[in-house]
Structure 1
Amino acid sequence: MQLLVFSCFVGFWRRENNMKKPTIVGKIISSGRVGLAVCLVLLVGCVSTTDSRFVNNTNEGEALRKYTDLGLLHIQKGDTVAAMLPLKRALEIDPKSADVNAAFAMLFQVENDNLLAEKYFKKALQFSSGTEKTRIRNNYASFLFGADRLIDACKQLRMASEDPFYEKRAQVYENLGVCYQRLGKRDEALTAYEKAISIEDTRARALLEASFLQFNQSNFNQSALYHESYQRLVRYRIANNTPKSLWLGVQLSRDSGDANAEASYALKLRNMFPESPENKDILKGG
């Protein structure tokens, strides 16, 4: 890694200063954090200047992966202009690559070009299979949800949830619950949340929303079980209390007759979220 950073800086120094011997480079690198930070920034530039030789130095499959990874790296940084060139080269190598088409979908999504984003999401789905298709479908559902196309998003999530081998299946069910809840389909949402919990019992949002939905159905015992599981995540700093979680704590403690717990939740709500609607509801006697 040290040699790679050094050669990157040397290459940049020679191009910018037209010097045969970058005598100052060694001093900069050995000077500590400043030199290292500069080199790490320039390292990305070095990769981008050599990407045209991917095909010459590797087989097409490896070149395809490198171009795609480079494009995704630029997308993650928000630089869609820089991402376009390596992704176009990847597409030239394999127009039917699901990963490349999915990367283009994300690129256009970042650029808020929904028509092109959807076009490439559909291409990626067409050219994919198995868990790869499920992963792309999950991302497509996220895109649809962000575009407020909730019915379409729920449909894609429901299809993604049918893949028993997808490693993020619990997340898919949790997202499906959120989608159904936004549509006002509370029973379907509760079913999805509980499925997420059965797969992965540390899904914080699924636990909290399932507790809330069970409470609204007057299933206080089941609501309390989910709420306690959520509070366990809070104690282990896996999740944080929210106005909703503290409001639920007040209500469930009141239902069980635990005045101390009720007062504790109410105090936390007042101190942490004084302007929240939930706190105002409690102050009014709710």
Structure 2
Amino acid sequence: MNLTSITKILVLITVIGLSACVTTSTGPFEGKKDLAKAEATHVQIGYRFFEKEDFQNAKKSLITALEINPRSAGAHLGLARVYERELEFDLAESHFKKAIRYNPESEYHFQYGAYLYNRGEYKGAYKQFNEVLENTVYVRRAQTFELQGFVAQQLEKEDVALNMFHRAIAVNPMLASSYVALARIYFEREDFVTGAIQYKGFVDLVRAKVTRQNASTVWLGLQLARATNDQDSFASLELQMKNQFADSPEYQEYIAWK
């Protein structure tokens, strides 16, 4: 994720709410089990086509799944993502809502929240992510905290954003964007020592090769290093800015600032 502005996020769709295992026992419900298996298969095939950006065949497979089961949340989610990519936003919105209606599990709220986030519909995204965060065992909980932090910033809820970023890191200390966001908030509040501590968390991930510096993060680090009189960090970041980001707008800001 871009560390200086809200950008679109990519979310992998997965088969959710469909049985991954279908028994082979005979009986009065065997036909229903076969239909459920066929539905799941068509959804999986549709997702594979989606991943290959073969949207036409993805739609065919997902629509076939809906012909088997019109309440297939997985199929509706898949179609929502396809229509999102095809810029058919009204259709995407309709299928996201149907997916949630037929299966209100956290993943569906997360996917819809991510869609609204990408569309700049932050109030709606905020609501969806709050729904997700009520589930304390949800697998993307840390990422949801982080995204909710960025949404809160867009809604000018800075204290909420601060809390969300801290909680994101508490759940997953490998979230580089949350460290940078915290460092930036504390810098703007002129709490330079706390900002520098958060920035160090980001730098540790850079050194571990979990993430990389960019012009924006180096520029933030330079300002924090100057504010905290960290001459060693300043010299290192200054050299990095000159060698790697001399063509960036941040470098011009740095030259004017210096």
Q: What band does the TM-score fall into relative to the shorter chain?
A: 0.7 to 0.9
Q: How does 1:42-61 map to 2 (within 5 A)?
A: 59-61=34-36
- Please give the TM-score of this superposition, normalised by the length of structure 1: 0.75
State yes or no: 1:87 paired with 2:62.
yes
How many pairs does the alignment contain? Answer: 228
2:129 to 141, 148, 157: 157
Q: State the distance in 2 between where 1:180 and 1:263 align.
A: 34
Residue 260 of structure 1 and its aligned partner are, at CA, apart by 2.7
Supply the RMSD in Å over aligned alpha carbons: 1.8
State yes or no: 1:128 paired with 2:103.
yes
Name 1:270's counterpart in structure 2.
Answer: 242
Structure exhibiting the larger radius of gyration computed from Cα positions = 1
For residues 64-105 of structure 1, the C-alpha deviation after alignment (integer angstroms, 9 at most, x for no partner) is 111000011111112221112221221122111211111111
Name 1:241's counterpart in structure 2.
Answer: 213
Identify which range, 250-259 or 260-269, moves more after superposition.
Answer: 250-259
Gaps of at least 5 residues in structure 2 are: 1-30
Q: Which has the higher contact order (CA 8 A, sep 6+)?
A: 2
1:75 to 44, 47, 50: 50
Find the residue that maps to 1:284 and give its secondary structure: helix
Q: How does 1:128-277 map to 2 (within 5 A)?
A: 128-129=103-104, 133-277=105-249
Residue 211 of structure 1 and its aligned partner are, at CA, apart by 0.9
Contact 2:193 2:228 in 1 (8 A): no
Q: Which has the larger helix fraction?
A: 1
- Please give the TM-score of this superposition, normalised by the length of structure 2: 0.83
Q: State the distance in 2 between where 1:281 and 1:110 align.
A: 36
Residue 226 of structure 1 and its aligned partner are, at CA, apart by 1.1
Q: Which amino acid aligns with 1:226?
A: Q
Residue 278 of structure 1 and its aligned partner are, at CA, apart by 2.3
Gaps of at least 5 residues in structure 1 are: 1-55
Q: Which amino acid aligns with 2:141?
A: R
Name 2:85's counterpart in structure 1.
Answer: 110
Q: State the distance in 2 between where 1:255 and 1:214 align.
A: 12
Identify which range, 249-258 or 95-104, moves more after superposition.
Answer: 249-258
